Structure 1
Amino acid sequence: FPEEEEKVGAAGCMEPNVRFWIAEHQSFVRRFLQWTEILDPTNLVISIEKIEKSRQLLFTSDDASRPDSRDHRQEAWKRSLSTVHPDSSKLIPVLFRPAAFLPFMAPMVFWSMMPARGLKSLILPQVSLYAYTSAFNIINGNASYSRHPVEGLFLGTGAFASSAFFGLIPYLAQMKYPLDNLLIKRALPIIFIAQVSGINVFASRSFEPVRGIEVMDKEGNVIGLSRRAGRKAVRETALSRAVLFGTSALIPEVFTYFFKRTQFFLKHPPSLWSMKLSCTILTMGLMAPLSFSMFPQVGRIQCAKLEEDIRSSTEETEVFYHRGV
């Protein structure tokens, strides 16, 4: 990570993760490189003690000019950004940290795109895929609005059930009405997984556009709750998720199409599935940081586009909001 202390300085008691994303440059390449660090699987095994020490370091500015201190702070930024939720300042459960996304989702996407050999092999992949996706979206979404735990449970259940149902549609349709056109037969699941993944974000985070999310100035001072900022945050995340899953499903299918015509496949047919799994993991390994960095983690929005009560309560022309992952 860059030497952020030279840019952010001392910003009071502002949440360090929010302070980082507000101060950070907005270039896509910069965000992409940062997400490759945050998605490092080793972030799943960081002890609570190390996380607490890293957070304490980020709340201080003593000896920030020393080279060894600067290295420690860079590591502290990585630990904090990968394990602590920017809105609540609480630890993200290990299984739902951004670094867990690829190890869990790559096998699920591969499994969900496999030809169904029965009702059980048809339902289980979709249930697993959207159960994890719904929980991930809720836990890593914006948490600045008020909600009761029971509401979150019902919201997650509804998002999971509806997504799994829509994800099953192309496979159920093919079982009842077999398609002769191979292109359409393979394209339908790809189109559905991209669209349903985006819709799942809207469903999982549907409270944000309704109740509004916090918007803040560059110093981190909360100005108010904005429904329009909530809609923008959810819309951007849904688009990035659709790109992630759509591309991760498309590329392996393309490679599979050409691989089936090689001499190696004709001699070793079982190699098809290992090739497709490897291709899915590699594609998602590239697409995960790319999709997460499509939009800034802390976005900006013009005050003129927000509600009247927010416009009248600040002289800022531009405010910030946490988009969520």
Structure 2
Amino acid sequence: MEPNVRFWIAQRQSFVQRFLQWTELLDPLNLLVSAEKIEEARQLLFTNEDASRHALEDQTIQEAWKTSLSTVHPDSGRPIPTLFRPAAFLPLTMPSVFLSMIPAKGMMSVVLPQVSLHAYTTAFNVINGNQSYSRHMPESMMLGAGVIFSSTFFGLIPYLVQMKYSLDNPLIKRALPVAILAHVSAMNIFASRGFEPVRGIEVMDKEGNVIGHSRRAGRKAVRETAVSRAVLFGTSSLVPEVFTYFFKRTQFFLKNAWSLWPAKLSCTILMMGLMVPVSFSMFPQIGRIQCSNLEEEIRSSTEETELYYNRGV
């Protein structure tokens, strides 16, 4: 069985345990792990089938799990490109989120953060999504280009509305971009991983044996990830806006107007640093689904009452 799948099935963790696990996997140092170290860690885990039982006891096994879980895709078993490993998500999306929430001073100041944010998140969603369904490179590239264009367009709507109608209501000016960002982030997941509910993803028993491909499991995986991404970007953009609203009314700001943007940037970094592991931890990496909720051909192929699937990140 693929070691990463074996780990997530064996470790039936609570939300708090998953959160603590992800704080380790999101360590930026995981971006520097070499291919040789990944291969060594994988060989160690393959030759120690009971390693998951001793993950909290042996330091060598701990490091091997950390390396494997943070750098290798559980479906394909191949290393994830460095810039799209989970540890890269925060440093590469946080600047775009911050810049996208700054009041527009021109079209380019609005377009560039939106394009960079949705281009990266689309590629991240595809690469870290489920890999067990059949797909071809040309259709994946066309889908990705369409998702980037549509996500950017919808992300620009609140700024275009403000430019055209000169809205002065602070609630609309601040709340509308936050709401749109949360919704577009969720829809980006549905669109970029749209093949999963259509073609189905692998479902397996607790031993890792593939029972079949389920469209219903694909819908569940995409829906859960979309919810977690909406919570991530919605909260990470809302809290700095609320902080800014009250910060502008303090005596410190009135005397030091220059301090607004450093303070808002710090708040954005703090919130995203907290919400990224929260978002990734909301649902198990290897999800469970009752066999009775799956298609008839899968129910008739096994006597198991519960099956597993890779949710993706």
TM-score (norm 1): 0.93
Which among 151, 154, 161 is matched to residue 166 of structure 1?
154
Q: 2: distance between equivalents of 1:167 and 1:310?
A: 40
Aligned to 2:250: 262
Q: 2: distance between equivalents of 1:114 and 1:106?
A: 13
SS in 1 for 2:58: helix
Give unpaired runs (5+ residues) of structure 1. 1-13
Give the Å deviation of 1:67. 10
Conserved in 2, the CA contact under 8 Å of 1:256 and 1:276? yes
Give the letter for the 2:254 counterpart: L
Q: 2: distance between equivalents of 1:323 and 1:214?
A: 10
Aligned to 1:271: 259
Give the letter for the 1:268 counterpart: N
Give the Å deviation of 1:183. 1.0
Give the Å deviation of 1:257. 0.8
Aligned to 1:24: 11
User: RMSD in angstroms over aligned alpha carbons?
Assistant: 1.6
The answer to whether residue 237 in structure 2 is matched with residue 244 in structure 1 is: no
Change (3 A) 1:70 1:257: same
Give the Å deviation of 1:66. 9.3
Aligned to 2:38: 51
Q: 1: distance between equivalents of 2:188 and 2:251?
A: 41
Give the letter for the 2:178 counterpart: I
Please give the per-residue CA displacement for 1:53-75, whole angstroms capped at 9, x wherever unaligned: 10011011299699998110000
SS in 2 for 1:218: coil
Aligned to 1:125: 113
Conserved in 1, the CA contact under 8 Å of 2:5 and 2:208? yes
Q: 2: distance between equivalents of 1:247 and 1:215?
A: 32
SS in 2 for 1:270: helix
TM-score (norm 2): 0.97
Conserved in 2, the CA contact under 8 Å of 1:63 and 1:69? no
Aligned to 1:40: 27
Aligned to 1:4: none
Please give the per-residue CA displacement for 1:29-65, whole angstroms capped at 9, x wherever unaligned: 1111101011010000011111111001101129969
Give the letter for the 2:111 counterpart: I
Aligned residues: 312
Give the Å deviation of 1:26. 3.1
Conserved in 1, the CA contact under 8 Å of 2:178 and 2:234? yes
Aligned to 2:134: 146
Change (3 A) 1:303 1:69: closer
Q: 1: distance between equivalents of 2:154 and 2:42?
A: 42
Please give the per-residue CA displacement for 1:152-211, whole angstroms capped at 9, x wherever unaligned: 111111111110000000100111112121111110000000000000000000000000
Conserved in 1, the CA contact under 8 Å of 2:54 and 2:61? no
The answer to whether residue 288 in structure 2 is matched with residue 300 in structure 1 is: yes
Q: 2: distance between equivalents of 1:70 and 1:185?
A: 53
Give the Å deviation of 1:266. 1.3
Q: 2: distance between equivalents of 1:63 and 1:28?
A: 24
Give the Å deviation of 1:311. 0.4
Aligned to 1:8: none
Q: 2: distance between equivalents of 1:47 and 1:268?
A: 46
Change (3 A) 1:35 1:139: same
Q: 1: distance between equivalents of 2:55 and 2:85?
A: 30
Conserved in 1, the CA contact under 8 Å of 2:55 and 2:62? no
Give unpaired runs (5+ residues) of structure 2. none
